[in-house]
Amino acid sequence: MARVLQTELALVGTDPGRVAELVTVGCALLRRAELDDDLGRRRAATPSPQNVDQVLALELPSVGDELDGAPVPIDYGTSAELTVTVANLGAALDHHPRGGRTVTSVEDVKRLSGGFSKEMVMATAAYTDGSRERFVVRKVAPGRRADGLRAEYDVLRSAFHRGCPVAEPWWYDAEILGAPAIATSAVAGVPAGDPNGWLEPPSATVLASVARAVAGQHRVGVEAIDSAPLPPLVSVDDRREALAERRGVLEGLWADGDDAWAPVFHLVLEWLEAAVHEQTDAPVLVHGDFGPHNFLLEGEELSGVLDWERSHIGLAVEDLAYLRPTLDDESWSEFLREYVAAGGAEPSGDALAWYIVWQDFWRAVSAYRMRSIFLQRPEQVLYGISGLLLAPRFLTRAALSVSSMLSSGATKC
């Protein structure tokens, strides 16, 4: 793996601008790749580990600050050409007119970071009446599944009409852009974070704004949600099915003979399966990826919550557990006070603990799957970044949380 990665990073290095931005990440990726290449020898030379710390030391040894602190430049590695063009954007706007206005031109088209499954652009529509609007198009990326985008649009529409801070949905179209796509208004603001967490420690005002927003989201009546991108995660059976799906992903990847980090995955998964909690709170609209990388801030206020592709009907604690690891104890207490004051219910400690592990686990599995894709398609450096940087971070954090639970005797929730 290390040799493959060296080759691909060398190709990236033909662009001087990318060299400067990827040098830290490149060192971290290569070090992780070398450790993975050496995993078989370490296993053969080391007796079966007895506790979580020993498992981690064998399977995922720390590579130091160059990995732990490496940035995650999520704009890199998407080598496919942009398929959204000025021409087909204009055609889509003509097909879905806004208030009877006629588009004269589409300008300032800019590619946005859309993660792995979506191709995203921002542009300006100019109309015959002299008005202009910024808008965003979110289109299914080539080769990716398209079955969840319509449901994502429906959830977004329900959230918008009930006052949640989301982009105004304009339209959904399955054909005119060559793949299913949705268009929304462009929300003003700057990103609050990235996959590593907050870019700056959130102020009390920011925390209060986020707390009010998610409390309002959790008051959206689930009867208003006709469909959602993900299945419900409400009952014990729902949670067991979600765990079985993640287990299936892992076993499918390991069937090809690459079982990197398998003992750590098993440790976390078996704890989650044994500790499935019996919580039966009222179901709510769950964002599913509720972290600062999906928040836009305008000054000290939350102006928008982005990326609803993991939204579903679930329990409020799920969104709270996603946010919890990004906040220190003082900030978390402050956020929770504001959330309760805005009408939210304080989560039980056991449910919060289970969902904190779950959130890191599903992300680790998703990023680990991208590691496998990178091995097959090494020209996609973004998959290497996710699989070699993000997957170990999420998995290690989940395992350490489990270790803390086991040491405290909390084997069940």
Is 6 a domain residue?
A: no
Is 226 a domain residue?
A: yes
203, 172: one domain: no
d(CA 302, CA 309): 19
| pLDDT on residue 257 | 87
281, 313: one domain: yes
Q: What is the pLDDT of residues 286-336, one digit of tens each?
A: 999 999 999 999 999 999 999 999 999 999 999 999 999 999 999 999 999
Is 146 a domain residue?
A: yes
301, 205: one domain: yes
d(CA 163, CA 110): 28
Q: What is the pLDDT of residues 265-284, one digit of tens each?
A: 999 999 999 999 886 789 99
User: Tokens 């399977």 appear where?
Assistant: 59
Is 19 a domain residue?
A: no
162, 244: one domain: no
230, 325: one domain: yes
169, 279: one domain: no
256, 400: one domain: yes
CATH code of the domain containing 110: 3.30.200.20
308, 400: one domain: yes
d(CA 413, CA 410): 7
Domain boundary among the residues 151, 186, 221 is at: 186
- Stretch (H or E) spanning 245: helix 236-254
| pLDDT on residue 303 | 97
Would you call 120 helix, strand, or coil by DSSP? strand
Domains identified in the chain, total number: 2
Model pTM?
A: 0.89
Is 116 a domain residue?
A: yes
348, 363: one domain: yes
141, 171: one domain: yes
Is 1 a domain residue?
A: no
Is 157 a domain residue?
A: yes
Look up residue 71 and give its two tokens: 């940035």
| pLDDT on residue 9 | 59
Is 47 a domain residue?
A: no
CATH code of the domain containing 201: 3.90.1200.10
Of 342, 233, 190, 396, residue with least CA distance to 404: 396
198, 181: one domain: no
| pLDDT on residue 134 | 96
Domain boundary among the residues 159, 186, 213 is at: 186
| pLDDT on residue 79 | 43
Per the CB < 8 A criterion, the answer to whether 297 and 189 are in contact is yes
| pLDDT on residue 413 | 37
Q: Give average pLDDT by consecutive 10-residue segment, the chain, 413 residues.
A: 63 53 71 90 89 93 62 49 82 92 92 75 94 93 78 95 95 92 95 88 97 97 89 94 97 93 97 87 94 95 95 96 96 98 94 95 95 84 84 93 82 43
229, 318: one domain: yes
- Stretch (H or E) spanning 154: helix 149-161
Instruction: Name the percent of the chain in helix, strand, coil, to the closest 5.
Output: 50, 15, 35
Q: Which long-range contacts does 190-193 make (Cβ < 8 Å, 24+ apart)?
A: 190/296, 190/297, 190/298, 191/292, 191/293, 191/295, 191/296, 191/297, 192/292, 192/293, 192/295, 192/296, 192/297, 192/302, 193/291, 193/292, 193/293, 193/295, 193/326
Q: Supply the range of the domain harboring residue 258.
A: 191-407
Domain boundary among the residues 129, 159, 186 is at: 186
